[in-house]
Structure 1
Amino acid sequence: MISLDDAVTAQLESHGERFEVLVDPDAALAIKRGTFDEEFEGQDLEDVIAAEDVFEDAASGDRPPESALKEVFGTTDPMEIIPQVIERGEIQITAEQRREMQEQKRKRLINIIARNGINPQQNDTPHPPERIDRALEEAGYTVDPMTPAQQQIDDALDALRPVIPIRFEEITVAAQLPADYAGSGQAKVREFGDLEREEWQSDGSWVGVVTFPAGMQNEFYELVNEVSSGEAETRVLKDKDELATR
């Protein structure tokens, strides 16, 4: 469950009655869009609500009569009713909650852009989040707190391009871990991105070819150095099949 401070109210009026539930704002929007399972993978409804209850007035704690619940929803089970209130009702948020949601969504958007974007004018190096934040501010871009950050990427990039050189690109890197580190290290390297292929060498070393957002290359090199005590070798590949043809 979430805290009451983090919850918003979803409200439905029907049959002359009012029904309110307390839920995480992003989860409520995902439920309304029908994308909850995708956006909140691994979480259940009970993880994103503040109370397993349905209220007539959440602020006072008053509850509607069971007969009204039965008439409108066909059940008195709160866990069956809560999604219906969210789907059919309206999400009530205060100005303060809206500001907090907007700030959280802005941070999420900046993180996505920083992890996926590169600077084509500086050897395709990543843009630091702070630079992206300043550029969004300079561009006058306003984050929509009610729309998933992923859906705002294209508009944000359109706003950023007149301010900073940026493009989204993936990078493919071959990493070779010495035999002493291959057993434990390869498991972490292979999970960093999309493992294109892997080869175990005759000397016991492991070579993996991994594709991931170009903006994450510094993180990748840090991981490889960490799991190999700095003894690994890496090489950026222009072609995913390059290693096999050399």
Structure 2
Amino acid sequence: MSGKTVIARFEQGKETFEILVNSDLAYEYITGKRKDPMSVLDAEEIFKDARKGERQGEEKIKKAFGTTDMATVVDHILKKGDVPITTEQKNRLMEEKRKQIIDIIARNSIDPRTNAPTPALRVENAMNEARVSIDPFKGPNEQVEAVVKKISLILPIKFAKIKINVNIPPEYSNRCYGILKQYGLKSEEWLSNGSLSAVVEFPAGMQTEFYEKINNATQGRAETKILE
């Protein structure tokens, strides 16, 4: 097994909760490449002080985490605590989180001046210009609000949803039904000739992607209308 044993630590109030983990396996878990939190442990214990071998009390564990289930506690420590990683791992993790944040903003936002989707490249450029720093240990969704606040002076952004009425010719209706469900199918009406009239609602930044998929699936014969 590669990687060395390191101490992952979570603090709540005056209490400290530590676990001994394999550094490489812990990194894999943090980045979603590994699913079982128990598989990263080098010792199946929750410590008060791992260096001294002092175990943490069950009552304090339950008070801090709401449970004494080992896997749940380990997962919490790995995701919310301090996990030592190498500089290379930290840089990779920041870049992955950065890409995820850019994708979230681009897919969910529009330019309020034009109501057009915000291209990912414009979001990335604005983040570079604003010198936005990414926390490698926080989830991307947790950081979106702060990032948007920083880049909004450079790039006007509005988070919005869009509702679209779509009319699909009968020869394409079954094929397109799955696409409509992917994009938040709100209502549907199957007409007597087999055509489909539906309403979908999804983040406004995804409308270009939606139009491309529907047009490709219907050879450009779908009729769409944005609803107020």
Q: Normalising to structure 1: TM-score of the pair?
A: 0.68
| Alignment size in residue pairs | 199
Who is 2:42 aligned against?
Answer: 55
Within 5 Å, give how 1:94-243 maps onto structure 2.
Answer: 94-121=86-113, 123-193=114-184, 195-238=185-228
**TM-superposed deviation, 1:90:** 4.5
Superposition RMSD in Å = 3.6
Residues 18 and 103 of structure 1: CA distance in aligned 2, closer, same or farther (over 3 Å): closer
Alignment partner of 1:92 out of 64, 68, 84? 84
d(CA) in 2 for partners of 1:150, 1:143: 12
| Structure 1 SS opposite 2:83 | strand
Q: Residue 26 and residue 117 in structure 1: after superposition, are their counterparts in 2 closer, same or farther (change >3 A)? A: farther
Given the superposition, is the C-alpha separation of residues 26 and 198 from structure 1 closer, same or farther in structure 2, using an over 3 Å criterion? Answer: farther
Normalising by the residue count of structure 2, what TM-score does the alignment of the two structures yield? Answer: 0.73
Within-5 A mapping of 1:30-69: 47=35, 52=39, 54-55=41-42
Percent of residue pairs identical: 31
Structure 1 gap ranges (5+): 30-39, 57-67, 75-79, 239-246
The verdict on how the C-alpha distance between 1:166 and 1:52 changes in structure 2, with shifts beyond 3 A counting, is closer
Q: Quick one: which amino acid aligns to residue 159 of structure 1?
A: K
CA contact (8 A) 1:171 1:212 kept: yes
Consecutive unaligned residues in structure 2, runs of 5 or more: 10-17, 44-52, 59-68
1:23-72 per-position Cα deviation (integer Å, ceiling 9, x unaligned): 3548449xxxxxxxxxx7xx9xx6356x946437xxxxxxxxxxx9xx88
